[in-house]
Amino acid sequence: MITYLELAKELLGRFKEYRIVHVPREENEQADALAKLASATINIWPKSISMIHLLQPSIVKSKEVGAVFGERNSWITPIKEYLINDVLPSDPLEAKRLKYRATRYSVLNGELYKMGYSRALQRCVGPEEAEGILRSIHSGNCGNHAGGVSLAHKTLRQGFYWPTLFADAKRVAARCEACQKIANNIRQPPELLQSITSPWPFAMWGIDLIGPMPTATGGAKHAIVAVDYFTKWVEAEPLVHITEANTISFVKKNILYRFGIPNTIITDNGTQFDGRKFRELCDKYGINNYYASPAHPQTNGQTEAVNKIIKHNLTAKLATKKGSWVDKLPQVLWPYRTTERGSTGETPYSMAYGAEAVIPVETSFSSPKVQLFQSELNIDMLKCGLDELEERRKRAQIRNTAYQQRVARYYKSHVRERRFSLGDLVLKRVNPGTRDKAAGSFADKWEGPYQVTGIFGHGAYRITREGFGELPRPCNAQYLKIYYP
């Protein structure tokens, strides 16, 4: 009862104030009857009475157990006892197994040695010494931070042995903090490819920036690019300054006023896309604005692919006049819009307008379209083309889906899944912009540890670092790995 009293006083101490009132048994008949009912040997109480069965006392008194120290080098002891005193286990099977093992061991000066292959004799050590030996070889004055298998081989060559050597070596190497932070970046994708499809033309746009590029006339150093996920149509403009106002102006002029209000816009996490005014613009027109995980451009992969094409074609056209890229930008967009895309089997121009554009080569060399042009027939053919447009778009959508499935199958063959749970400790890859420049090539490649505090799906996680707080944006699993404390 004293123990219960102590617990009651401890619990009462958590209240700001309390009052204890003694109730005589004759005035507390209902509670007394319930107590007797609960202690009955057979279940006679009504179902309306809730019963709680305590499988153990509320007070579990800790048992006082004296410290038990096993014999040092416990795995060594049976072998030594047999070799020195001819002592065998009582179990015949264990005795036979011990006899067989002992044939490769010998005792010299009271120490057990194993006859090895890499060395004639290897001293057998217990768990206490084993940990110190591995840490000394791995990260000591003569350590080279070798991997687990290499560390185990080096330990054997130095003349030490114990049965769990390779497993222990892998564990020590994996938990080395220095090794974890300077490890090479993981190239294999951690999650299956999640393809993004647009339900109808100009419903979903991806927007991104290119640059910095050579300063052009007027001071432009960047370009803003928008791609429609259905037709693959591209819009682009040069920018002198990357600002929220310029981004809003581009969206209005090149998307809203030209193709109507889209359903979705996908961007990165730059302040020009994540500012209050840009969000207000999207809210005003009912546009869903989705953001890619930081440093994970694959989320907006369509725009990233177009960016590469634009930069490649600009480089080919500019030659030595790199600053004239602003003048060449429309000349790069035109051929892109009039070239068949492998994913759809159609040109962006025909997907948008229902007919193919006339390009310079057709007028320079008199293509059949130019030679046989008839105004009335052309109008009829354009009308037929518009009637057929919906069917062509449907075929293009099917081809695009098949193309995405082929890409996903190839991507899947390289995936090495890395998934994390709430509470896991992880390291995050250091971004080039935040890397310690003073350390140069000796800078850590990973930072942390962080703790996983949120899971969004498709490889996106919310992580927090003690002393630094929670990262403002989710981080993709591609830039995370497990931390071993």
> Mean pLDDT, to the nearest integer, of 170-183?
91
Q: What percent of the chain has pLDDT over 90?
A: 36
pLDDT band at 386 (very low <50, low <70, confident <90, very high): confident
Is the separation of the CB atoms in 242 and 270 below 8 Å? yes
The pLDDT assigned to 45 comes to: 46
Report yes or no on 325 lying in a domain: yes
The pLDDT assigned to 14 comes to: 74
Select from 365, 384, 410 the last residue of a domain.
410
| Better-predicted residue by pLDDT, 350 or 440 | 350
**Is pLDDT of 31 > 80?**
no
> Mean pLDDT, to the nearest integer, of 267-287?
90
Is the separation of the CB atoms in 357 and 349 below 8 Å? yes
Which tens digits make up the pLDDT trace of 222-253? 999 999 999 999 999 999 999 999 999 999 99
Based on the fold, state whether residues 390 and 442 are members of the same structural domain. no
Domain containing residue 478: 425-482
The pLDDT assigned to 374 comes to: 74
pLDDT band at 482 (very low <50, low <70, confident <90, very high): very high
Based on the fold, state whether residues 464 and 367 are members of the same structural domain. no
The pLDDT assigned to 378 comes to: 76
Least confident of 86-90, 236-240, 281-285, 296-300: 296-300
The pLDDT assigned to 44 comes to: 46
The pLDDT assigned to 295 comes to: 54
Least confident of 67-76, 96-105, 274-283: 67-76
Q: Is 155 exposed, middle or buried (0-12, 13-18, 19+ CB in 10 A)?
A: buried
The pLDDT assigned to 118 comes to: 74
CATH of the domain at 298: 3.30.420.10
Report yes or no on 119 lying in a domain: no
> Mean pLDDT, to the nearest integer, of 377-393?
82
Is the separation of the CB atoms in 420 and 452 below 8 Å? yes
Based on the fold, state whether residues 352 and 403 are members of the same structural domain. yes
Cα 176 to its chain centre, rounded Å, is 22
Report yes or no on 179 lying in a domain: no
Based on the fold, state whether residues 211 and 302 are members of the same structural domain. yes
Based on the fold, state whether residues 310 and 359 are members of the same structural domain. yes
**Is pLDDT of 67 > 60?**
no
Amino acid at residue number 184 = N
Pick the closest to residue 128 from 173, 97, 160 (CA basis): 160
pLDDT band at 165 (very low <50, low <70, confident <90, very high): very high
Instruction: Please state, in angstroms and as integers, the Cα–Cα distance from residue 28 to each residue in 35, 44, 379, following that order.
Output: 11, 21, 99
Is residue 357 helix, strand or coil? Answer: coil
Based on the fold, state whether residues 445 and 335 are members of the same structural domain. no
Cβ neighbours of residue 133 closer than 8 Å, sequence gap 6 or more: 125, 155, 158, 160
Q: Measure the CA–CA gap between 125 and 383, rounded to whole angstroms.
A: 88
Based on the fold, state whether residues 435 and 317 are members of the same structural domain. no
The pLDDT assigned to 322 comes to: 82
Report yes or no on 173 lying in a domain: no
Strand partners, 481: 427
Helices (H), 74-186: 76-85, 92-102, 127-139, 148-157, 165-174, 177-182
Report yes or no on 418 lying in a domain: no
| Better-predicted residue by pLDDT, 64 or 404 | 404
**Is pLDDT of 320 > 80?**
no
Q: Is 20 exposed, middle or buried (0-12, 13-18, 19+ CB in 10 A)?
A: exposed
CATH of the domain at 455: 2.30.30
Based on the fold, state whether residues 369 and 436 are members of the same structural domain. no
Sort strands 122-124 and 111-114 into parallel, antiparallel or unpaired: antiparallel
Least confident of 70-84, 152-166, 404-418: 70-84
| Better-predicted residue by pLDDT, 472 or 125 | 125
Based on the fold, state whether residues 347 and 463 are members of the same structural domain. no
Report yes or no on 296 lying in a domain: yes
Please state, rounded to an integer, the average pLDDT across all residues of the chain: 84
The pLDDT assigned to 300 comes to: 64
What is the CB neighbour count within 10 angstroms for residue 384? 12
Report yes or no on 265 lying in a domain: yes
Based on the fold, state whether residues 317 and 432 are members of the same structural domain. no
Q: Measure the CA–CA gap between 82 and 71, rounded to whole angstroms.
A: 16
The pLDDT assigned to 206 comes to: 92
Report yes or no on 382 lying in a domain: yes
Instruction: Please state, in angstroms and as integers, the Cα–Cα distance from residue 386 to each residue in 96, 215, 348, 410, following that order.
Output: 88, 43, 15, 36
Instruction: Please state, in angstroms and as integers, the Cα–Cα distance from residue 246 to each residue in 226, 250, 259, following that order.
Output: 14, 6, 19
**Is pLDDT of 385 > 90?**
no
**Is pLDDT of 40 > 70?**
no
Q: Measure the CA–CA gap between 476 and 458, rounded to whole angstroms.
A: 8
pLDDT band at 171 (very low <50, low <70, confident <90, very high): very high
Angle at CA of residue 177, ends 171 and 182, nearest 5°: 110
**Is pLDDT of 151 > 90?**
yes
Least confident of 59-68, 174-183, 298-307: 59-68
pLDDT band at 288 (very low <50, low <70, confident <90, very high): very high
Select from 380, 410, 440 the last residue of a domain.
410
* Token couple for 302: 């369509």
Based on the fold, state whether residues 301 and 440 are members of the same structural domain. no
Instruction: Please state, in angstroms and as integers, the Cα–Cα distance from residue 372 to each residue in 276, 295, 356, following that order.
Output: 55, 52, 16
Q: Measure the CA–CA gap between 315 and 213, rounded to whole angstroms.
A: 11
The total number of structural domains that make up the chain: 3
Based on the fold, state whether residues 212 and 350 are members of the same structural domain. yes
pLDDT band at 174 (very low <50, low <70, confident <90, very high): very high
**Is pLDDT of 73 > 50?**
no
